[in-house]
C-alpha cells in the first residue's frame, strides 16, 4: 500500500473509528461530516466573533498610563501683583476603572518650575523705603492619589459591565443558532444518504429481476428449440432482459453519482470504496403525540434564541433604569508636596494635602432613557407573540410529521401485501405458461408487476426514513 493511501486510510479511521472496511452507516457518515466539513467551523466562528467583540469591551479595566508636558505664560493681569509668570512642567498619571465598585483609582506625579518676573518688594535699608522689582524661581513637586466612587448611579460597576454583559447573550444565541443551522445541514446530507441507500436497494431488486429474466430467456430458448413456443416468445424474453439490464445501468449511475457527491462533501475519497448500510424497511418506535408535544414545547431549540433575546432585553432594561439614578459621587484625593527655590530642596516631599468632595447631580428629565424602556417593553411583547407563532408552527409540523409517519407505516403494510399478491400471480402465470395454457407476455407482465411492487415498497420505505429524519431534526435529536 502506498504511503499516500495509508495516510488517507489512517485519517478516515481517526475521524470515524467505527468505520468498517466495506460499509458506512448514516450516523458514521454524519460524524465524519462534523469533524471534516468547514461548514461546522464556519457556523461556530459566528459565536467566536461575537465573543471577541465582547472581550474588546473589557478594555475599560486596564491600567492607562499618560504623560503630559506643558508650558504656561501668564501676563500682568493673571500674574498680578507680578508683571509676568512662566510655568513649565509635566505630569505623569496612571489610572484605571474599578469594575467591581464602579469607581476609579488614579496615581499621579507632577513637577513644576515657576519663574515670576517683576515682583515688587519694599527695601527698608534707606529712608524713606524704596520699591524694587525682583524675579523669583520656585520648584514644586507633588505625589497624588485620588479615588472616585459613585454612591448611587453605577454603584458596583453595573454600567461599566453593561455592554459586556449584553454581548454574552448574543454569544449564547449564536451558539444555539449554529447548532440549528448545522442540524439543517446534516438533515440535508442524511436525506441524500437515504437516497444513496435507496438507489442500492433499487439495484438489488433490479438484479433480481434481471436474474429471473435471464432464467426465463434460457427456458424460453430451450422450449423454442423444442418447437414448444414461437420465436416471438424468445424476442419477448430477450427484451425483458434488455429492459432489466438498462434499468440497472441507470440506477448504478445514480448510485455512483450520489456516492461521489457524498464523498466530496465529506472530503473523503474512502467513501467511494464504501457502501451504505441502512435498513430501509425498519420501522421506528415513536412516542405518542402528547409526549412529543410536551417535549417539543419545553425544549425546542428554535425557541431558545428568543428566550435568550428576552433575557438580554430585560438586562438592558435594568441597565437603562440604572442610568436614571441620580449621581452622588465621592472623591477623595491625598497629596504630598514639596516646594522650594532650589530644585534639590523641592524634592523633599513632606507637606500633605487632603481633598474630599461629594457631588450630587440630578437631571430634570430622563427622556432618552424613558423612551428606551418603553421600546424594550414593546420588543418583549413582540417576542412573546413570536414565541406563540413559533409554537404553533412547531406543533403543526410535529402533527404533520407524525400523521405522515403513521400513514406511511400503513402504506408499507399494504405494499407488503401487494408484493405477496404479485408473487402469487407470478407463480400462477408461470405455472400456466409451463403447462402450455398461458402466454409468456403474461408471465413477463406478472414479474414486472412484482418488481414494481417491490420498487414501490422500497420508495415508500425511503420516504418513511426521510420523514423520521425530519422528526429527529424537529425534536433536535439529529444534532443534539
- Residue 316 inside a domain? The answer is no
- Asked whether residue 228 falls in the same domain as residue 272, the answer is yes
Cis peptide leading into residue 128 (ω within 30°): yes
- Residue 49 inside a domain? The answer is no
- Asked whether residue 306 falls in the same domain as residue 334, the answer is no
What's the CATH code of the domain at 255?
1.20.1600.10
- Residue 391 inside a domain? The answer is yes
Whether 125 shows a pLDDT value over 60: the answer reads: no
**pLDDT for the residue numbered 337:** 85
Whether 12 shows a pLDDT value over 60: the answer reads: no
Q: What count of Cα atoms within 13 Å lies in the side-chain half-sphere of residue 249?
A: 6
- Asked whether residue 257 falls in the same domain as residue 286, the answer is yes
- Asked whether residue 211 falls in the same domain as residue 297, the answer is yes
Confidence of residue 400 (pLDDT cuts 50, 70, 90): very high
Mapping DSSP to helix (H, G, I), strand (E, B) and coil, where does residue 347 land? coil
- Residue 53 inside a domain? The answer is no
- Asked whether residue 212 falls in the same domain as residue 82, the answer is no
DSSP characters over 349-378: --EEEEEEEEEEE--S--HHHHHHHHHHHH
CA 74 → CA 110, 274, 320, distances in Å? 20, 90, 46
Q: Which ranges in 58-141 belong to alpha helices (H)?
A: 76-79
C-alpha cell recorded at residue 116: 515670576
**φ/ψ (deg, to 5) at 31:** -65, -40
- Asked whether residue 210 falls in the same domain as residue 343, the answer is no
Confidence of residue 6 (pLDDT cuts 50, 70, 90): very low
Nearest to 148 by CA among 208, 207, 106, 94: 106
- Asked whether residue 216 falls in the same domain as residue 358, the answer is no
- Residue pair 315/165 in contact (Cβ under 8 Å)? The answer is yes
The average confidence (pLDDT) of the chain is: 83
Cα–Cα–Cα angle for 372, 373, 377, rounded to 5 degrees: 115
Burial class of residue 340, CB neighbours in 10 A (0-12, 13-18, 19+): middle
Give dist(CA 238, CA 210) in Å, integer. 11
Whether 232 shows a pLDDT value over 60: the answer reads: yes
Torsion-angle region of residue 439: left (phi > 0), alpha (psi -120 to 50) or beta? beta
Whether 442 shows a pLDDT value over 80: the answer reads: no
pLDDT in tens, 31-90: 888 888 888 888 888 888 888 888 777 777 788 999 999 999 888 777 777 778 888 999
In this structure, the strands spanning 351-361 and 327-340 are antiparallel
- Residue pair 36/266 in contact (Cβ under 8 Å)? The answer is yes
- Asked whether residue 280 falls in the same domain as residue 408, the answer is yes
Q: What's the pTM value of the predicted model, to 2 decimals? A: 0.75
- Residue 158 inside a domain? The answer is no
pLDDT in tens, 343-391: 777 777 788 899 999 999 988 888 888 898 999 999 999 999 999 999 9
- Asked whether residue 238 falls in the same domain as residue 118, the answer is no
Nearest to 320 by CA among 93, 98, 94, 166: 166
Give dist(CA 30, CA 469) in Å, integer. 12
Residue range(s) defining the domain that contains residue 345: 63-150+328-362
Number of structural domains the chain divides into: 2
- Asked whether residue 177 falls in the same domain as residue 299, the answer is yes
pLDDT in tens, 278-329: 888 888 888 888 888 888 888 888 898 999 999 999 999 999 888 888 989 9
- Asked whether residue 334 falls in the same domain as residue 358, the answer is yes
- Residue 305 inside a domain? The answer is yes
Total residue count of the chain as it appears in this document: 480
- Residue 43 inside a domain? The answer is no
- Asked whether residue 209 falls in the same domain as residue 282, the answer is yes
Amino acid at each position: 500500500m502506498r504511503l499516500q493511501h495509508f495516510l488517507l486510510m489512517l485519517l478516515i479511521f481517526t475521524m470515524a473509528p467505527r468505520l468498517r472496511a466495506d460499509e458506512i452507516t448514516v450516523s458514521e457518515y454524519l460524524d465524519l461530516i462534523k469533524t471534516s466539513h468547514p461548514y461546522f467551523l464556519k457556523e461556530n466562528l459566528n459565536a467566536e466573533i461575537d465573543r471577541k467583540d465582547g472581550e474588546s469591551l473589557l478594555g475599560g479595566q486596564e491600567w492607562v498610563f499618560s504623560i503630559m508636558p506643558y508650558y504656561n505664560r501668564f501676563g500682568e493681569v493673571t500674574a498680578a501683583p507680578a508683571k509676568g509668570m512662566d510655568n513649565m512642567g509635566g505630569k505623569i498619571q496612571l489610572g484605571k476603572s474599578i469594575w467591581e465598585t464602579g469607581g476609579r483609582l488614579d496615581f499621579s506625579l507632577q513637577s513644576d518650575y515657576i519663574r515670576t518676573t517683576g515682583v515688587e518688594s519694599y527695601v527698608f535699608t534707606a529712608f524713606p523705603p524704596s520699591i524694587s522689582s525682583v524675579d523669583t524661581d520656585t520648584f514644586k513637586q507633588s505625589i497624588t492619589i485620588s479615588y472616585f466612587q459613585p454612591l448611587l448611579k453605577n454603584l458596583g460597576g453595573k454600567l461599566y459591565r453593561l455592554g459586556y454583559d449584553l454581548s454574552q447573550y448574543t454569544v449564547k444565541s449564536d451558539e444555539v443558532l449554529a447548532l440549528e443551522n448545522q442540524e439543517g445541514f446534516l438533515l440535508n446530507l442524511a436525506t441524500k444518504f437515504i437516497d444513496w441507500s435507496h438507489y442500492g436497494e433499487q439495484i438489488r431488486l433490479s438484479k433480481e429481476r434481471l436474474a429471473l429474466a435471464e432464467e426465463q430467456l434460457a427456458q424460453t430458448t430451450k422450449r423454442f428449440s423444442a418447437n414448444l413456443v414461437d420465436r416471438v416468445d424468445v424476442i419477448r424474453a430477450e427484451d425483458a432482459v434488455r429492459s432489466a439490464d438498462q434499468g440497472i445501468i441507470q440506477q448504478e449511475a445514480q448510485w455512483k453519482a450520489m456516492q461521489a457527491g457524498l464523498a466530496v462533501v465529506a472530503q473523503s475519497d474512502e467513501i467511494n470504496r464504501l457502501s451504505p448500510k441502512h435498513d430501509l424497511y425498519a420501522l421506528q418506535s415513536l412516542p405518542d403525540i402528547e409526549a412529543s408535544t410536551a417535549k417539543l414545547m419545553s425544549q425546542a431549540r428554535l425557541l431558545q434564541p428568543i428566550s435568550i433575546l428576552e433575557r438580554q432585553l430585560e438586562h438592558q432594561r435594568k441597565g437603562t433604569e440604572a442610568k436614571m439614578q441620580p449621581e452622588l459621587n465621592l472623591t477623595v484625593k491625598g497629596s504630598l508636596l514639596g516646594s522650594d527655590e532650589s530644585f534639590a530642596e523641592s524634592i523633599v516631599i513632606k507637606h500633605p494635602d487632603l481633598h474630599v468632595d461629594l457631588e450630587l447631580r440630578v437631571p430634570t428629565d430622563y427622556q432618552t432613557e424613558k423612551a428606551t424602556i418603553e421600546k424594550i417593553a414593546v420588543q418583549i411583547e413582540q417576542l412573546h407573540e413570536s414565541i406563540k407563532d413559533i409554537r404553533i408552527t412547531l406543533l403543526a409540523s410535529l402533527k404533520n410529521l407524525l400523521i405522515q409517519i403513521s400513514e406511511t407505516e400503513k402504506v408499507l403494510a399494504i405494499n407488503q401485501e401487494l408484493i405477496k399478491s404479485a408473487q402469487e400471480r407470478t407463480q400462477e402465470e408461470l405455472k400456466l405458461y409451463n403447462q402450455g395454457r398461458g402466454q409468456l407476455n403474461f408471465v413477463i407482465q406478472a414479474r414486472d408487476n412484482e418488481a414494481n411492487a417491490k420498487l414501490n415498497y422500497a420508495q415508500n420505505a425511503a420516504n418513511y426514513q426521510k420523514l423520521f429524519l425530519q422528526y429527529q431534526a424537529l425534536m433536535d435529536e439529529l444534532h443534539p
